[in-house]
Structure 1
Amino acid sequence: MKTPRPEAMKIRYMLLHAYGMGGTIRTVFNQANAMAAAGHEVEIVSVVRRREQVQFPLDERVRLLTLADQRQSRPVDSLGRRAWRRIRGKIVPAGEFAASYFTERVEKAAIDYVSGLDGGILVTTRPALNLISARRAAPGVVRVAQEHMNLAAYPEGVRSAIARYYGRLDTVAVLTGTDRREYQRLLPGTPIVRIPNAVHGTGRPSPRHEDRLVVAAGRLVGQKGFDLLIPAFRRVVDRHPDWRLRIYGTGPKRDRLRDLIKEHRLRDSVTLMGRTDRLDEELAKASFYVLSSRFEGLPMVMIEAMTQALPVVAFDCPTGPRDVITPEVDGLLVPPQNVAALAAAMVRLVEDRELRDRMGAAAAVTARDYSPSVVMPRWERLFAELLGRGSGTPAEPSGTPR
């Protein structure tokens, strides 16, 4: 018998900057759109706003609210400073990656919002917001913390705050089985559920794997390890000078990476492509995808590449790649930050078309476990259970992806 859909729920997603770029923002927009399409009342709350328009598609039924508008048109204070550049708040720990955003004024705006809520579900999406929700959310609000980064990536001060306050939350949702085990050790007795992010584009035709092209994508920051990928690709080009690498994304390391490309004499072989709205199409042109990150949460672009039947070469970094990839089946894992091993794995795929085809087909099968049709019902069941409306079906049934 078919399980009945939960009745309409009020769901609020809280993001630091809903107008920015990044995997967490895109994931939350996808979740909000899916929940609105399912008939729920959905709101996205952007703690700050520094752009005119959102960067990802948003269902017109989803309400978008800003707490602290920081666009350049905002007034300045008596000293000529923008109003948001003031003393840091008290709740967000200094080691939180976005701590600089949480001035006294911004933190107060977030606290005022969560403390003024009346019922429904509040989904917060990074430690700063999770801690504010844990410490200040109004009684009767169901508090769900989403963690989009692995626990070990956080500085000690952030982990200490997590250990002290996350037990007040109704549920902590993490992306991988590794994350779940780590959070369970830190937070015994706190409900920890693993629900991966959903990707779109599953079920598309397989690429031919004929083009001599490798693709990588992500913010141009140290975490993504493109400074390791570029010298690794130098070794590929030494053996196969007709192969090319395209890196999609923007970020503060662009000039440094451009210099690195020149240093390794790769200007004809490696291109920094910038941002694209058509990444699916660009992935479909490639023969395989490479992930060179130093650490991850769950690398969504990697899974999107797998939906395009691309095999993956990845550092076995914490966390995500090993939680998704089965080595020698749908991709190749190499020791973290090992440039020589990364180069050797790329050369192996470059030289073995049959291996690319076999792993690519398996990658497309793996990616189906991350489709919206699989992931979104788990969120609905979780929310319904937390509100006491569930059918008893667990949010994380056995047999789900690792």
Structure 2
Amino acid sequence: MRISFVILDITRCYGTERTTTLLANKFVEQGHEVSILSVFKEKDKPGFSLNDKVMVDYLIQEPYTHKKSVLFIGKQYIKAIIALRKHYQHNPQDVIIGQAFLVCFFLWISGYARQAFACEHYKYGLYNRSIRTFRNWMYRHFKKVITLTDCYAKEYEYHGVKTKVIPNMLPFSIVDNIHTNNTKKIISAGRLQPEKGYDLLLQALKPVFTQYPDWSIDIYGEGNDRAMLEKLRDDLGLLPNVRFLGFSSNIHKAYLEASFYVMSSRHEGFPMVLLEAIACGLPVVSYDCPSGPAALLKDEAGLLVEPENIPALSDAIIRMIEHPELREAYAKKGLQVALGYTPDAIYRKWQALFIENK
């Protein structure tokens, strides 16, 4: 089967790019002919490692931006739509998978919605009501919308959009056993942007490290808020305990060296970092934000906290520090949850989708 992924820019190093890479690699391993069509190109090569058999094409040899004039952005969109239409005229596919709303808009206006699946990686209410209304109408023209959680699927179905729930797959193997780690180190990972709530986390950590100054946290990721967050850390007197370590190409090793994971997001689509953490045997403290954490941490697989409640997050982190037996119980349950997200398990869901929609 010829399968083509369309993505805004495969050279970036965020969750959508990683998910696309994992799926492309898995589909190739299963004998499919797989290609990735990147609308824009910011860097010289894809952000994550791709199987050599996966073909990559770029429509526009320049980075995407939404910070220039409406005229400039409009010209970029027109150029992308024309190039996309021409590409598929010369490279017909059995299945097209559009990654996120803007790319799916390009597919729809180019006339390829009927043979494409639309993948949504973000929360349902990300856009204002008028954009959501148009998006829902547009998505009715696609084969189906692939959502990451049941609650987002219900939102789309309420508006007449056909859906299928397929979560993201794990990028590495589940550990055989939980590891007792006495490093007194916490870990968190994500974009340094408002939705990830690192400003909330830093405030929550102030009483934690006042009480337990021998503990620390490593925060992995890049983003526009890094300078602001580093200043907040310094202003709170947390410099000895909090490290911002940027993007890591070996986050797996970092998980294995930590004692537990903390997520402070204001909202999530499907938090891959949380799935990765529990697959590495890490217990988790997380805000019960819309909507990914609860789906992964239900049934006592982690410690969920009222969204954006800073004192409650502090108390939960302290509780995790003080009770190693609690960490062990959450870690064991997390490993059971992770079994549902192995590459083989997720591939079977995609395979069933293709068979259902021939």
> Where do 1:194-213 residues align within 5 Å?
194-204=165-175, 205-213=177-185
* TM-score normalised by the chain length of structure 2: 0.94
Q: Which of 336, 343, 347 pairs up with 1:376?
A: 347
> 1:11 touches 1:43 (CA, 8 Å); kept in 2?
yes
Compute the displacement of 1:278 (Å).
Answer: 0.9
Q: Identify the range of structure 1 (107-116 vs 243-252) with the bigger mean alpha-carbon deviation.
A: 107-116
* 1:193-214 deviations in Å (ceiling 9; x for gaps): 0000001333324221321011
Compute the displacement of 1:119 (Å).
Answer: 4.4
> 2:294 touches 2:304 (CA, 8 Å); kept in 1?
yes
Q: What secondary structure does 2:40 align onto?
A: strand
Q: Which of 324, 328, 331 pairs up with 1:357?
A: 328
Letter in 1 for 2:104: N
Q: What secondary structure does 1:129 align onto?
A: helix
Seen in structure 2, the aligned counterparts of structure 1 residues 294 and 116 have a Cα distance that, compared at 3 Å, is farther
Q: Percent identity?
A: 30
Q: What secondary structure does 2:72 align onto?
A: coil
> In 1, distance between residues paired with 2:117 and 2:111?
11
Seen in structure 2, the aligned counterparts of structure 1 residues 171 and 358 have a Cα distance that, compared at 3 Å, is same
Q: What secondary structure does 1:322 align onto?
A: helix
Q: Which of 254, 260, 264 pairs up with 2:226?
A: 254
Q: Which of 96, 120, 124 pairs up with 1:151?
A: 124
Q: What secondary structure does 1:349 align onto?
A: helix
Q: Which of 206, 213, 217 pairs up with 2:189?
A: 217
> In 2, distance between residues paired with 1:163 and 1:228?
33
> In 2, distance between residues paired with 1:57 and 1:385?
30
* 1:7-32 deviations in Å (ceiling 9; x for gaps): xx110000100001111110111000
Q: Which residue of structure 2 aligns with residue 122 of structure 1?
A: 96
> 2:4 touches 2:35 (CA, 8 Å); kept in 1?
yes
* 1:333-385 deviations in Å (ceiling 9; x for gaps): 11111111111111110000100011111111111111111111111221232
Letter in 2 for 1:157: S
Q: Which residue of structure 2 aligns with residue 10 of structure 1?
A: 2
Q: Which has the higher helix share?
A: 2
> In 1, distance between residues paired with 2:14 and 2:23?
15
> In 2, distance between residues paired with 1:110 and 1:314?
40
Q: Which of 104, 109, 113 pairs up with 2:78?
A: 104
Q: What is the aligned length? A: 354
> Where do 1:2-401 residues align within 5 Å?
9-70=1-62, 86-89=71-74, 102-113=76-87, 118-138=92-112, 142-186=115-159, 188=160, 190-204=161-175, 205-326=177-298, 329-387=300-358
Letter in 1 for 2:265: S
Show structure 1 runs of 5+ residues with no match. 1-8, 72-82, 91-101, 388-402
Letter in 2 for 1:182: E
> 1:174 touches 1:193 (CA, 8 Å); kept in 2?
yes
Q: What secondary structure does 1:168 align onto?
A: coil
> 1:223 touches 1:293 (CA, 8 Å); kept in 2?
yes
Letter in 2 for 1:342: L
Letter in 2 for 1:130: C
> 1:202 touches 1:368 (CA, 8 Å); kept in 2?
no
> In 2, distance between residues paired with 1:117 and 1:39?
19
Q: What secondary structure does 1:68 align onto?
A: coil
Letter in 2 for 1:356: R
* 1:288-317 deviations in Å (ceiling 9; x for gaps): 111111111000011000001111111111
Letter in 2 for 1:88: I
Letter in 2 for 1:165: M
> In 1, distance between residues paired with 2:218 and 2:88?
42
Letter in 2 for 1:87: F
> In 1, distance between residues paired with 2:203 and 2:89?
50
Compute the displacement of 1:252 (Å).
Answer: 1.0
> 1:85 touches 1:103 (CA, 8 Å); kept in 2?
no
Show structure 2 runs of 5+ residues with no match. none
